[in-house]
Amino acid sequence: MKVWPPFAATIFALVVWQSIVTATGVQKFILPGPALVAEAWWTNRLVIAEHTLVTLQEILLGMAIGTTLGIATALQLATSKTARTLIQPILVFTQALPVFALAPILTLWLGFGLWSKIAMAVLIIYFPVTSAFFDGLMRTPPGYLDLAKTMQASPSRILWQIRVPAALPNLGAGVRLAAVYAPIGAVIGEWVGASRGLGALMIMSNGRAKTDLMFAAMLTLGVLSVLLYLAAAKLTRRLGDRET
């Protein structure tokens, strides 16, 4: 039953896609049909796999670093009024900055290698993880806190034994968002300047009018994002079950 809805949605999307191509008679270099994209994917499967591994490396490292920094920042904000006064407004302000504007700056600072793409992924997931976990830490059920104070528990024990476990569902939501946003950050970095990765493959394919290959790379990125989301959801669900 769980497999049927995604399968049906995929079939529906492919039928609509092919119907548009057939009804409009659009040229294949503008909008190739699903069959052409599938053929391009199979023909270039080794190239796509090579670029996918590069992007996946950027995403996983970005998620690991961004999630760790987000957790640390949320804990600091939750335990320090000074940190909330000084850091929280800056975090909110940074979200007003367009992500595309930061990519060239990161490339200038970190070069065209792997780290500029990792930094881009970190930046795009850092705030969602921080915000979600911080919100959970600040919404601990008052009854738990009153009971802990009655038993004269120390602030550190209240934090690690009550507030953090109660905030894990929020952290899980932040990590799931990170799994969706991290590929976007990595690909944006590859668009600005890279010779490897799915984003770079899209740019090169577009420049050579290989639209079918560009669509194949784009769909591969979409499937990768869905798999990352499902993996993150399963991981956070297991962590939540352990705590309960």
How many helices (H) and strands (E) are present in the chain, helices listed first? Answer: 12, 0
What local confidence, expressed as pLDDT, does residue 96 receive?
79
Summarised one tens digit per residue, pLDDT across range 92-106 is: 888 777 777 888 888
Q: What is the mean pLDDT of residues 39-65?
A: 95
What local confidence, expressed as pLDDT, does residue 1 receive?
44
Is residue 112 predicted with pLDDT exceeding 80?
A: yes
* Cβ-proximal residues to 55 (8 Å cutoff; 6+ apart), any chain: 183, 186, 187, 190, 197, 198, 199, 221, 224
Give the closest residue to 126 by CA, choosing from 81, 159, 77.
77
Q: What is the mean pLDDT of residues 203-207?
A: 90
What local confidence, expressed as pLDDT, does residue 32 receive?
92
Q: Could you confirm whether domain 35-243 is CATH 1.10.3720.10?
A: yes
Q: What is the mean pLDDT of residues 226-237?
A: 88
Residue 113 phi/psi, 5° resolution?
-85, -155
Summarised one tens digit per residue, pLDDT across range 152-199 is: 788 888 889 889 999 999 999 999 999 999 999 999 989 887 789 999
Quote the CA–CA distance of 233 and 242 in Å, as a whole number.
Answer: 14
Q: Are 123 and 158 in contact (CB under 8 A)?
A: no
Q: Which sequence spans correspond to the domains of the chain?
A: 35-243
Is residue 244 predicted with pLDDT exceeding 70?
A: no
Q: Are 124 and 185 in contact (CB under 8 A)?
A: yes
Give the closest residue to 181 by CA, choosing from 145, 134, 131.
131
